[in-house]
Structure 1
């Protein structure tokens, strides 16, 4: 038992309130899991989990309306203290896990050491008592210092109990930058098929965290077989030789490097994970046996749609990824008018991400890719930043002339939309000033030329 009294004063008052209430009722609370791990790493925890010897019904009685029975059969009650939700689970010993997720039975009233024995990894099997004492029966602190992920007890059994732990291993490698201990890694690979029993929603939640990790590239390269259980579309990419002078990596290594090369946002990381999935299906060889991948971007987008539907992406993220894949092949020089027109076509946010995905895609082609891709990206980024700083017109809504003014000139219905789109294109091409006077004069000339009427008529035919 090691004492770390320095942790206790820095705990949020909401956590201290829960600890005090349990102690006043005669129970022994402990902080457990990720919050203890993060404090030992010198990080501020994002949430707090606790365990105690108080039975679930007692927890409900002690905290009254602040207590919510979120997992009562397994002893879990969520206590909301000052607006902070704290998951409080009664110390327990688990029975068999026949569904690879939940224990068939639980036994309450065990010791803190027994409770820690049922947890996934040693770095998560450390408890912090209110006295500042650390209970660490499985050497979690040593593994934490060494940056090692090791299963508590028998690795295969831990993964059979809850198959999501296999994906959690990959996630912690990505987020914490830890390496998987040899036996734990081997068991994760051997038991990876069990992930097919895990609900898609749980996989999706874990993948969102995994992809945002600082060490995501290494994690993707180390565990493609595991990731390929919930997302089998990635498996044909693993080891697939592109046979192209512009690419020295196989499709999967290129993908992993590209994912790691974009900033950690969900839209960007998922986009780069998906962007080349269609390559193995689209490859052709020319007379010189050089590989080409005509149509692979469209096929990758189709596969992405299937994955996003299967994993139940929320609409906002699905639409964001879809928009970024749709413009992935847009080509333009790092010049003002070209980038301004792209911003008008795709919007500021999507264009900003397009510059990042183009850099990542080029940076991931060769070992010296990052240095080769940096200069053209910086040039394009400087132009983009200047246009943003100028508040350059990038949408119909930002035009100094609106639909009512066009209607006053005689335009009707769809003609108004056609003319506004034309005006925006000319403003973005910097052939036309975005002032009411200039736009009105141009609209009058378009009216006299019959532009809108001819445009609508041609679209009908």
Structure 2
């Protein structure tokens, strides 16, 4: 099996080999290359001790990113590669980082400390793939399996729980039985992991084939989003729904485009429903104002998980609006564009479509109205119709020329002109707007 290695990485391997040391590419770059994927980064493992590595690459820009753990980042032609000494990790008292490491001259010892068999693969152009833990077979069979005893691997680094599920989601691999049992058993280890790290792995997981993973490993996700437990098994008893809130949520997640904002929106869009449920005399459930409650809860959850402000704001807005009617009507769409902007409206259409797809299929016909609305929206934007002040063919300077005093009056008249254009009372042409402005000036005596 041949792996194409970037020339900069070959340079690093050659220099280490010529200096008398073993060196291999290792981990994710080997896994991805075997799977036919493009590696995100390239890591090298070597028998050279850290001080020996520093000496070998003294003519190259280097960053001692983790020199105490044997890692040096070497830059060859502006291409960065992490070079790490073969090592055996000591105790992990924080369930995340080794308290100490012991350097070794054994590649197998180094590979034995890694998380999953598919990541415990090394490669050298002359020696081929070094596979000490049957990782190649697990790759062929699409299986995620811990190296050694799963409980030990997860107790060393609790984030590996989410890494396993993220790989399962993104690669569509099954989790081996003992590894799966251990993930559920050790889920409380996630309590000790920085929220930013949980956020990163969870977001990648959510943007993969997440539905079955979310369903099967719900207790794991409840560890950092406990509000999920309210949704599971909560029947909606409503003509529009045939699933409980959690199952509806799972189907909504898998029905929307795989981007972080949209997947997170669908995951959380109904999280407040169980707290807003009322039943009428017929036993039908109603969820009045659930969108506001869900948006409020989503904001708290996302902030706790350290999502950035723009992401939190957009998701809060989309959840608040997800029950807003959208019709294939030019005037109403111009109003929505004016109020929310194109980006939000585009997202909102996708959110509503995913919501409909996850409801009772009897009502799937509502998708047609959304598709028509999207076509009208495309037409509005293609024709460059006016829906904001910046689109008006007239500005404050034009109003000043009409002897309208600067200040509040200018802003008020511009807003009234935009209203007139949106209502179809005045064309968006400079001459017509000037005439209409004079009419407003006299009417409001400004």
Which TM-score applies when normalising by structure 1?
A: 0.91
The residue number in structure 1 matching 2:34 is 40
**Quick one: which of 353, 372, 389 aligns to 1:396?**
389
The residue number in structure 2 matching 1:303 is 297
- Report the alpha carbon displacement of residue 140 of structure 1 after superposing the two structures with TM: 1.2
- Report the alpha carbon displacement of residue 429 of structure 1 after superposing the two structures with TM: 4.1
Output the CA distance in 2 between the equivalents of 1:296 and 1:343.
24
- Report the alpha carbon displacement of residue 450 of structure 1 after superposing the two structures with TM: 1.7
Residues 419-438 of structure 1 mapped to structure 2, 5 A cutoff: 419-438=413-432
The residue number in structure 1 matching 2:438 is 444
- Report the alpha carbon displacement of residue 151 of structure 1 after superposing the two structures with TM: 1.1
Secondary structure of 1:89 counterpart: strand
The farther-off stretch of 411-420 and 15-24 is 411-420
Output the CA distance in 1 between the equivalents of 2:262 and 2:276.
23
**Quick one: which of 68, 71, 80 aligns to 1:73?**
68
The farther-off stretch of 247-256 and 425-434 is 425-434
Output the CA distance in 2 between the equivalents of 1:328 and 1:188.
34
Query: What do the CA deviations read for 1:340-373 (whole angstroms, capped 9, x no partner)?
Result: 221121111111111111101111114677x645
Over 3 Å counting, the alpha-carbon distance change for 1:288 and 1:166 in structure 2 is: same
Asked if 1:101 corresponds to 2:101, the answer is no
Output the CA distance in 2 between the equivalents of 1:34 and 1:192.
24
Asked if 1:154 corresponds to 2:149, the answer is yes
Query: What do the CA deviations read for 1:104-162 (whole angstroms, capped 9, x no partner)?
Result: 22111242111111111111111111325111121111111211111111111111110
The farther-off stretch of 323-332 and 216-225 is 323-332
Output the CA distance in 2 between the equivalents of 1:13 and 1:376.
54
Residues 329-340 of structure 1 mapped to structure 2, 5 A cutoff: 329-340=323-334
Residues 217-256 of structure 1 mapped to structure 2, 5 A cutoff: 217-256=211-250
Output the CA distance in 2 between the equivalents of 1:54 and 1:431.
78
The residue number in structure 2 matching 1:418 is 412
The residue number in structure 2 matching 1:378 is 371
- Report the alpha carbon displacement of residue 226 of structure 1 after superposing the two structures with TM: 0.8
The residue number in structure 2 matching 1:178 is 173
The farther-off stretch of 191-200 and 221-230 is 221-230
Output the CA distance in 2 between the equivalents of 1:202 and 1:279.
28
Output the CA distance in 2 between the equivalents of 1:212 and 1:431.
45
**Contact between 1:393 and 1:434, CA under 8 Å: does it hold in 2?**
yes
Secondary structure of 1:43 counterpart: coil
Q: Which sections of structure 1, spanning at least 5 residues, go unmatched?
A: 454-461
Secondary structure of 2:227 counterpart: helix
The farther-off stretch of 73-82 and 167-176 is 73-82
Asked if 1:195 corresponds to 2:190, the answer is yes
How many pairs align? 444
- Report the alpha carbon displacement of residue 23 of structure 1 after superposing the two structures with TM: 2.0
Secondary structure of 2:324 counterpart: coil
The farther-off stretch of 310-319 and 98-107 is 310-319
Query: What do the CA deviations read for 1:262-299 (whole angstroms, capped 9, x no partner)?
Result: 21222212222221111111111111121111111111
The farther-off stretch of 334-343 and 346-355 is 334-343
Asked if 1:165 corresponds to 2:160, the answer is yes
Over 3 Å counting, the alpha-carbon distance change for 1:442 and 1:309 in structure 2 is: same
Output the CA distance in 1 between the equivalents of 2:362 and 2:280.
27
- Report the alpha carbon displacement of residue 375 of structure 1 after superposing the two structures with TM: 2.4
Query: What do the CA deviations read for 1:211-243 (whole angstroms, capped 9, x no partner)?
Result: 221x02222222221111122222211222112
Query: What do the CA deviations read for 1:14-38 (whole angstroms, capped 9, x no partner)?
Result: 2222222222322221111111111
**Contact between 1:334 and 1:376, CA under 8 Å: does it hold in 2?**
yes
Output the CA distance in 2 between the equivalents of 1:124 and 1:79.
22
The residue number in structure 2 matching 1:458 is none
What's the RMSD between the two structures over aligned residues?
2.0
Asked if 1:283 corresponds to 2:289, the answer is no
**Contact between 2:326 and 2:373, CA under 8 Å: does it hold in 1?**
no
The residue number in structure 2 matching 1:257 is 251
The residue number in structure 1 matching 2:400 is 407
Secondary structure of 1:232 counterpart: coil
Asked if 1:128 corresponds to 2:159, the answer is no
**Contact between 1:126 and 1:140, CA under 8 Å: does it hold in 2?**
yes
